[in-house]
Amino acid sequence: MHMEEHTLSEMSDELKLMLGRFRYEQFVEKLGWRLPAHPHPGLCEWDQYDTEQARYVLAINQRGAIVGCSRLIPSTFPTLLEGVFSQTCSGTPPRDPAVWEMTRFTTNEPQLAMPLFWRSLRIASQAGADSIVGVVNRTMERYYQINGVHYQRLGPPAVHQNEKIIAIQLSAHREHHRHALASATFTRSLPLQEIA
């Protein structure tokens, strides 16, 4: 398994199709997300935040299949937090070149969750990010706590599609996070997806 970083323009058509289908499998088929229609090939998941400003971190196994992904967007461009989940913030959602949003974080191999997370932070920090924002459900919040991720809530829990969600902000630098408190593994009952 290895990890790659891409923008949309750097991806081949085949890789874009693989990513869209992987996201559809993870978010629509497994989690049952109700997403607005978007003009892309069937059984693919994309949204209006998939632009050239986004950076994608892909985990690819030895067979060449995508097994994990995340999306990173500078908060100076349109983000999910500002456009869809602004109610999760007590104040105005951050808009700062040093603040990046991470969304569409998922893997179908539980042992890859934290390696993918740390790699995503490193890529963001190398691109100029000092902190990361995003929206998570309570399961992901607990998982971050268990694995030593230091974060702060940007507002009180809100409800979205019958699930409690929380906006959080955390350092993009791994050295600012404490060591894991417990084994970084999920059981099948704990899905490896952020809410957004």
Domains in the chain: ranges and CATH: 2-176 (3.40.630.30)
Cα-flanking dihedrals φ and ψ of residue 9, to 5°? -70, -20
pTM: 0.89
Pair of tokens at residue 128: 């100029």
CB count within 10 Å of CB 11 equals 16
Mean pLDDT over 42-58 rounds to 94
Determine contact, residues 57/5, Cβ cutoff 8 Å.
yes
Which H/E stretch holds residue 136? Answer: strand 131-137
User: Could you give the residue ranges of the DSSP H alpha helices within 44-173?
Assistant: 80-83, 113-126, 138-146
116 sits in the region (left: phi over 0; alpha: psi -120 to 50; else beta) called alpha
Select the more confidently predicted residue: 160 or 190: 160
pLDDT tier at 36, thresholds 50, 70, 90:
low
Single-letter code of the amino acid located at 29: E
Q: What's the confidence (pLDDT) of residue 39?
A: 55
